[in-house]
Homo-oligomer: A and B are copies of this chain.
Amino acid sequence: MTRDSLVSVLRAQGHRATRPRLAVHDALSAASGHLTAEQVAARVDGEVNLATVYRALSVLQEVGLVHSVRLGDHGSLSWELTHPDDHAHLVCRVCGDVDHHVGNAVEQLKDHLLSGHGFEATGVELVVTGVCVSCGADADGAPVPGAGATK
């Protein structure tokens, strides 16, 4: 998304294109992954207040540019740019890495729920905890030394 279209999207929905909002969007864009509000604040170091980060994320979510998801057990929300495709989050409990699994599994599920059960799914939040390929290869069951991601 270009800077211009970002500005347009905000204005089109009655919001102003302010420095904090653009900076927050930039941070998420650069991260190409998930960030908590605090991590976002850290990446725009000193330039945006944490409370403003929350408000900016809220506005960006309102206009559909970002969305939040709860990953793992730490009490904070993670945020990411909204993707065109639904996707699952694969959280490795060994190394802590979060992978995006883009596939048709979510689509299939939505279809199944609608046709089979009349439930019209709009938002699907799918968080899978497990062991990723590299960690599963290293040690089967035993955590990798020095990669404490579990709490």
Contact = CB atoms under 8 A, between A and B. Distances in A.
A127 B125 contact: yes
B133 A117 contact: yes
B101 A105 contact: no
Nearest to A99: B119
Interface in A105-140: 105, 108-110, 112-113, 117-133, 136
Interface of A: 70, 88, 90, 92-93, 99, 101, 103, 105, 108-110, 112-113, 117-133, 136
B133 A118 contact: yes
A118 B136 CA distance: 8
Given A70-B70, A105-B109, A128 B132 contact: no
